[in-house]
Structure 1
Amino acid sequence: MSGLKDKAISGASWSLTGRLLQQGVQFLIGIILARLLMPEEYGLVAMALVFITVFYVFVDSGFSTAIIQRKEITKSDLSTVFYLNLGVSVIAFIILYLLAPLIAKFYGNIQLVRIVRTLSLMIILYALTIVQNSLLVRDIRFKIKTRIELVSQILSGIIAIYLAYKGYGVWALIWKTLLNQIFVNIQLWMSNRWLPSFEFNKNSFKELFGFSNKLLVSGIIDRVYQQINRLVVGKFFPAAELGYYTKAEQFNNLPSHTISNSLMSFLLPVFSKMQDDIERLRRAIVKVIKIVMYFNVNAMLLMFILSEPLIIGLLGEQWRGAVPYLRLLVFVGLFYPMHTINVQILTALGRSDLFLKVEVYKKIIGSTSVLLGIFVGIQAMICGMIVTSFISLAINTYYTNKLLRLGLFEQLKCISKTFFVALIMVILMLPLTIFLKSYLNNIELLILISSISFFLVLFISNLLRLEEYTEIKLIVTKLIKRNG
């Protein structure tokens, strides 16, 4: 038990460290590129990716999760998945290549033909890494994964900045996306000893697809739902508005998705190993919820306070249009890690049927926000997304309660003290930010309020002796001793 705990802590630390470093590098590169490029150019790439990212789900088909979740995996299983992923990716590339003129016509922008066809190469490149990446996650080898992603992000970012500086415009963003995946591919194949054998096992396919097919359907539903907001903005509003929305979404995703994506990486293999010990799994989930939400709630509400200095101070006045979107999107991301944890529980317990059911319910309810975007406006659409987020959490936790006796009330009770700490921060820092706005520039305001808020949260947490705060200190101390 202690071995799994140590491995989980090590995996979690490397996963989170990797995400933080990667997001930090991406954030820095993004700031430089945003100052060199225009919102319209970001909007064009976002338009193309709306369609391309949906095909990622078809290529994966849920097999990456099946590889991680499965107790025993054979070389035959891995080779079967590899060739299936590759075959589907080639078909997807051909479809997108042929659809490119129609996509350009849909948006009314002829530039999208070349952009869609070029970015579609990403699908084949991605297919070549699915098995290799899944094996790293399955074995909780996040140190290697962190190194690969970080190096790729830095190299592709440097090249993109050079291209943007030389006036390549939107193609700087396109080459950044492609080169990042190419660098990931090269390093993954160099770091992993596994190589596919020349075999395709029908029995392996049937067994793995028996688990993954529901994940495929739920993945398609989720990916289409995630992209449909961008589709609506890109279709019914100018490209610049999609650029504003996309940039606000990227800022919003920094805390919530960094934490959640790190969780997705290590929770599934760890929870899967606990699937036969329900009480132990329940205790682990409560602890994870407390720790993760302590970070996320405070970070998201601080972002709400600092939306304007964050966007304008870092990106420039030309991005002011993203500020109102970010202020609202903060509340969409507030509970996002809890969504991740609850759906990972279903997957870890092998209940892909419930996973699919949850996704269908959530997306039916969430479709109302899309209608608001079409008929009312982008801010109304985001307000609809906020309401949907809370309803979706209730749906997620309903099945967690049935399986583990850990429903919505119990989970919210776990984080009530965290919300109390964050609320004090907002009450004190928001008026101070408004007052100092007339005396400080955006960067000075950003640094000052962030610093005060950080120490204020630590002080209150220590004063109240928050369990999650104490647990975080113990984990950090343990990691420092181990690496010291």
Structure 2
Amino acid sequence: MSFYKKLLRNLIVVGGYKYSSTLILFFISMITARLLTPEDFGIVAIVTVITGFFLIFKDNGLSMAVIRSDYKYSFWNGTSNLLIGLSILVGAIICLLAYPVAIFYEDDRLINIVLFIGLNTSLSNFSLVSSALLRKNLQFATIGKIEMAASIFTAVCVIALALMDFKYWSLLIPMMIGNILKIFLYFKFSGFIPSIVNKKVIIVSFRMNMSILKGVTVFNVVNYWSRNFDNLLIGKIYGTSSLGIYSKAYGLLQLPLNLIRGVFSSVLFPSMKEKINIDGNWKKEYMNILKILSFVPVPLVFIFILFPTELITFVYGNQWTQVGEILPYFGILIFLQVLQTTVGHMVLLNGKDKEFMIWGLLSATLIVLSVLYGSSISMLAIAQYYTLCYITLVLPINMIYVFIMTLNINRSIVLKFWLPKIFFALILWIFLYKNIDYRFTILILILLTIHLIIDSFSLLKVMINIISKKHKVFNR
């Protein structure tokens, strides 16, 4: 089976389950947005800004190391022990933060919320190696079924608790229930249940993972604050209700990004590992995948930019209309960040752990500075200058440092791919910021779509041909 056929088959399998699960959760969010208030969402968001920072230490690339490495049982158990120990340690640290967080935000309700999140965190790593092994063996259908089952069960719990007036707890308690269910299912279907190993095995596993641990840890730290510093400032400066509004807009940005990242990264990382092992020729395939990937967010970009208020009113109701002011800028970010979702995995797959860390430091510093500047003006300005920084500074760094210098992809191919997209994104930002007649914005969006079609026309024909042949086989 050709690389593209196998990749497409796995994408369809994973995407089918992932999209179904996401649609279920999105439908639930439409319901809970009407049952709960911006204050309820804001109080959860205000806690997770800080506690979420410590959650980035619970994996640190160890699950990816399982996929990347050719070692087996002792390495798996040693790595699993490391992961479980990390999650328990991180959970304990989060619990210790309960009172400081409550004091920082001057809200005693936050104490129990932080303690609950700490307890849930302690359970989070028990099945990571089991999940990684399923991905390593390309058992994406099994992963899809597990995630979908957990999503459905969690969704039912959220609605039930919201109807029983559990307020913000209806967003928290189902997290733990879904976590426990996934642990049980991953153990069952992977056939791997971690066992306690002696200290020597853990030390050896730690040393073998040292390179990826350092690179991913530093990247995750700076990347987390580049993505959440805006939430921290809004919660502190503008209050929980404003943070509830902003977090809804940010959630709509992250929803497709997480969906695409979850599907493509889950499939692409092990698929590219297999491709490298076979013939080492991955660069052309990867750039082709990015061309196809650039089409995925286009419908959302049109909707976010042209119909933000109508979308928010339909999805969440009239109490959330203020989200519509932020959404057009996040529409630009969706298009650009979708193309970034797989880059980090390719850097790690090629063993460039140090470069991965440096890239994260550069990008995060610029984004944090832009958020600081925007926060001195307004909540909307945070979104505006975050987006502008991403277009004019972060992407050029990514283009030169990561694609050309780190991954050694041909310069002309990289520039031909990225420069038009940066140009169109900048024009869209200017039109939005200057409030130029929306008809010009529509024209730019149409020109962008035409560019994407021309840029990947031959690839689209190949993909359509593969899908049509597969469809004929199914209909026989």
Are 2:306 and 1:308 aligned?
A: no
By how many angstroms is 1:419 displaced? 10
SS in 2 for 1:335: helix
Whichever residue aligns with residue 160 of structure 1, its letter is V
User: In the alignment, what sits opposite 1:8?
Assistant: 7
TM-score by length of 2: 0.87
User: In the alignment, what sits opposite 1:375?
Assistant: 376
SS in 2 for 1:163: helix
In 1, Cα distance between equivalents of 2:279 and 2:308: 42
In 2, Cα distance between equivalents of 1:412 and 1:143: 37
By how many angstroms is 1:343 displaced? 2.2
In 2, Cα distance between equivalents of 1:351 and 1:464: 29
User: In the alignment, what sits opposite 1:449?
Assistant: none
User: In the alignment, what sits opposite 2:212?
Assistant: 211
User: In the alignment, what sits opposite 1:470?
Assistant: 461
Further displaced range: 79-88 or 50-59? 50-59
Are 2:405 and 1:406 aligned?
A: no
RMSD: 3.3
In 2, Cα distance between equivalents of 1:408 and 1:16: 32
| Structure 2 contact 312–323 (Cα < 8 Å) conserved | yes
Are 2:399 and 1:385 aligned?
A: no
User: In the alignment, what sits opposite 1:222?
Assistant: 223
Are 2:388 and 1:397 aligned?
A: no
By how many angstroms is 1:3 displaced? 5.6
By how many angstroms is 1:168 displaced? 1.2
User: In the alignment, what sits opposite 1:64?
Assistant: 63
| Structure 1 contact 256–334 (Cα < 8 Å) conserved | no
Further displaced range: 287-296 or 389-398? 389-398
| Deviations, residues 49-106 of structure 1 (Å, cap 9, x unaligned) | 1122222221212211111112x12111111111111122222222221210110111
By how many angstroms is 1:45 displaced? 0.9
User: In the alignment, what sits opposite 1:450?
Assistant: none
- CA gap of 1:111–1:270, structure 2 versus 1, over 3 A, is same
By how many angstroms is 1:463 displaced? 10
In 1, Cα distance between equivalents of 2:440 and 2:149: 40
SS in 1 for 2:124: helix
Match of 1:118 among 116, 126, 132: 116
User: In the alignment, what sits opposite 1:345?
Assistant: 346
By how many angstroms is 1:461 displaced? 8.5
By how many angstroms is 1:348 displaced? 1.3
- CA gap of 1:152–1:310, structure 2 versus 1, over 3 A, is same
Whichever residue aligns with residue 17 of structure 1, its letter is G
- CA gap of 1:382–1:205, structure 2 versus 1, over 3 A, is same
In 1, Cα distance between equivalents of 2:110 and 2:251: 22
| Structure 2 contact 68–349 (Cα < 8 Å) conserved | yes
By how many angstroms is 1:108 displaced? 1.7
Whichever residue aligns with residue 223 of structure 1, its letter is Y
In 1, Cα distance between equivalents of 2:323 and 2:125: 34
- CA gap of 1:56–1:105, structure 2 versus 1, over 3 A, is same
Whichever residue aligns with residue 281 of structure 1, its letter is W
Unpaired segments ≥5 residues, structure 2? 432-436
User: In the alignment, what sits opposite 1:442?
Assistant: none
By how many angstroms is 1:459 displaced? 11
Alignment of 1:72-221 (within 5 A): 72-200=70-198, 201=201, 202-221=203-222
In 1, Cα distance between equivalents of 2:355 and 2:132: 23
- CA gap of 1:75–1:294, structure 2 versus 1, over 3 A, is same
In 1, Cα distance between equivalents of 2:417 and 2:371: 32
| Deviations, residues 191-237 of structure 1 (Å, cap 9, x unaligned) | 11012233141222211223332112212221233222211111111
| Deviations, residues 385-438 of structure 1 (Å, cap 9, x unaligned) | 1123222222222232135553676346347899999999x9xx965999xxxx
By how many angstroms is 1:271 displaced? 2.1
| Structure 2 contact 229–371 (Cα < 8 Å) conserved | yes
| Structure 1 contact 60–127 (Cα < 8 Å) conserved | yes
Alignment of 1:309-348 (within 5 A): 309-348=310-349
SS in 1 for 2:58: helix
- CA gap of 1:116–1:198, structure 2 versus 1, over 3 A, is closer
In 2, Cα distance between equivalents of 1:385 and 1:407: 29
In 1, Cα distance between equivalents of 2:110 and 2:350: 42
- CA gap of 1:311–1:6, structure 2 versus 1, over 3 A, is same
Unpaired segments ≥5 residues, structure 1? 435-452
| Structure 1 contact 397–407 (Cα < 8 Å) conserved | no
User: In the alignment, what sits opposite 1:32?
Assistant: 31
| Structure 1 contact 269–348 (Cα < 8 Å) conserved | no
User: In the alignment, what sits opposite 1:447?
Assistant: none
Whichever residue aligns with residue 357 of structure 1, its letter is I
In 2, Cα distance between equivalents of 1:198 and 1:462: 53
| Structure 2 contact 14–144 (Cα < 8 Å) conserved | yes
Whichever residue aligns with residue 212 of structure 2, its letter is F
Whichever residue aligns with residue 416 of structure 2, its letter is K
SS in 1 for 2:193: coil
* Identical-pair percentage: 22
By how many angstroms is 1:324 displaced? 0.8
- CA gap of 1:268–1:32, structure 2 versus 1, over 3 A, is same
Whichever residue aligns with residue 161 of structure 1, its letter is I
Whichever residue aligns with residue 134 of structure 2, its letter is L
By how many angstroms is 1:352 displaced? 0.8
| Structure 2 contact 91–117 (Cα < 8 Å) conserved | no
| Structure 2 contact 304–330 (Cα < 8 Å) conserved | no
